[in-house]
Amino acid sequence: MEKRRNYSRKREAILNAVRSTTSHPTADWVYEKLKPEYPDLSLGTVYRNLAQFKQDGTIISVGVVNGQERYDGNVKPHTHFVCSKCGSVIDIPDDYIGADRIEQAERKYRLRIDSTDILLRGVCPDCLKKAE
């Protein structure tokens, strides 16, 4: 039986904070953004809600970058790029694995693939420019 969660302004604010940015925020970023409006907000509350949103599929985790988990409110399939210099996370909207390749892998390895996550790593344009 699924546990019903009551409406919470803080929970809604946490979700809106993640969805309102393309910076792929950390829990600390969300906490710092919301703390002025919600003085009694705890970092634990932010972490618990982010974990629940992730479990529900409301948000996704991009993974750990520079020691902190990064989140994305855009749950549509897309690729991410992580800069190995500054740690920025950038959305790459192009589809790098087409449905035909997924179906081929399913047949070849006798799998059922529900989703794909592609993470590209390298150096972002800003860091490349600074290196020149």
- Specify binding-site residues: 83, 86, 124, 127
Which amino acids are annotated as binding site for Zn(2+), given as ranges?
83, 86, 124, 127
Distances (CA, A) of 88 to 8, 51, 70, 100, 126: 31, 22, 10, 31, 10
Q: How many CB atoms lie within 10 A of CB 107?
A: 9
DSSP states of 5-36 as a string? PPP-HHHHHHHHHHHT-SS---HHHHHHHHTT
